[in-house]
Structure 1
Amino acid sequence: MTRQKRSHHKLKRAVAPYLYLSPSLLIIGLLMLLPMVTVIGYSFQNSAVLRRDPSFAGLKHYQAIFDDPVFWASLWHTLYFTCMSVIFHMTIGMAFALMLNSDRINPTLRNILRVLYILPWLFTAVIIAVIWRLLLEPNGVVNSILMQIGIIGSKVEWFSSPETALHAVTFANIWAGYPLFMVSLLAGLQGIPKDFYEAADIDGAKAYQKLIFITIPQLMPIIISISLLDFIWTMQVFPLIWITTGGGPIYSTEVLSTYTYKLAFSSYNLSQASASAVV
């Protein structure tokens, strides 16, 4: 009898936290699952939302999307935009985190740099888009500097040229997103025991060896988790691209988010937009 009471008590203690969390989990589940199921349902219907009794369309809307060359272009642009952003977010964030964690920098200078490096994180996507539109316009600061140092011979229309527009919005997104990695990696660096580095110094390890065999392995859980989150968030970027280029010129910066938005709110083809969102 005593064993049964103990096992019942243990079971009750194990289940109790989930019971307390169940209302919140239920609300979150509904807020996430209900829109997903609704959009999936719309993707298989004709004239979804606009008619009370839409007919079943099967895979017609998916076929229409896959036959659209703009969709495949937007998919490639999304992958390029996302992969380049995540790689440079991680690289720049790691470099700045190592710099701010170094004892060789004056504490006052370190505090100033910490504020400067985190500034992009304080701006909204709209402000970032406006800033970079001003900086990268033909008569902007960037063109002026590049012409003075001889890198370019004439003014470049960064957001208006199909050859440079995607690189320009990617660069703007890289500038806006690296502070997430910097702050996370800096916190991880400050949590690494100094004994590891002291032991490596005794063994005669060089700076790059300590980075490869101590720092990066210790930071790997943070790097993986933040990279996955950044990949997901960057895939969904919309305001920055919409405000700077609107997906143009000539679809050169069209990504899945802008492609889906145009289907839904420019062409009013909500069924194909739902299919695009599902894909």
Structure 2
Amino acid sequence: MATPDRQATTLALAHALSAAERGLAVIPLSCTKLPALRSPHRDDPIPPFCHGECGRFGHGVHDASTDPSRIRALFAAAPWATGYGIACGLPPHHLIGVDLDTKSDTDSPAALRELALRHLFTIPPTVVVLTPGGGRHLWLTGPPDAVVPNSAGRLAPGIDIRGAGGYLVGPGSRTRHGIYTTAPGTAHLAPAPCPPTLLRLLLPPLRTHHRPAPDTPDAHGRGLVRFVLAAHEGQRNTRLFWAACRAYENGLGPALLNPLLEAAQTTGLTPQEARTTIASAARLTGHHP
């Protein structure tokens, strides 16, 4: 455990509280950019699927909150925290982070400009956070019914996406490599809506082949159920959304509805969370939930 840096922790808490006032749910981060609080289930022989239902801290982005009292309690439990993370995909902003990396050999800003020209979209003025390594985080917002998954390099080399279950390092955070800052002229902006064309690129790829729904799931359907069952913490909604999209695209939606619901609940989602995610997949693929 790191030695507490009271000044850094106090500054991080102040920045986190300021972000929470803007409706951004936050968690404390260590100087390594990882959640400062470890899982309370790390020593359990069989770790449970818990999103914080146990009432203890240490569940990553599932601890994220906009409540000042809870945020202060989180930082009090992690006096070594030097930064804060902003949870993506949560209301009211449904934040999406576009991370333009500088560690690869690819010019990620140029790759994003090329994508924008090819697909005819424009990144609107929005919050831009500068990383100590020279990278940039663009903050965008998504619609409530779109579950954008986390990805690394899928959109283009050097471009990572922070979506549902992910988080962005907040401006003002201090890490081993330096401080995250807001780019000049963007601190006063609200996160801008993600252009619809870019949003389609960020969502899981869709297939166009359809076939009549069978009475029972075939091998492909059972594979989708296993895919959901294999989800780890932070992947559950994303995996369920992806599997449900594939099910509806292939005419398996009605047959797999109950198996997918049961699988999702086995991984730790509540029935309401599972139904909402499957309904979003149905609407996205042009079906009735």
* TM-score, reference length from structure 2: 0.22
Larger radius of gyration: 1
Which has the larger helix fraction? Answer: 1
Which has the larger strand fraction? Answer: 2
* TM-score, reference length from structure 1: 0.23
Greater relative contact order (Cα 8 A, min sep 6): structure 1 or 2?
1
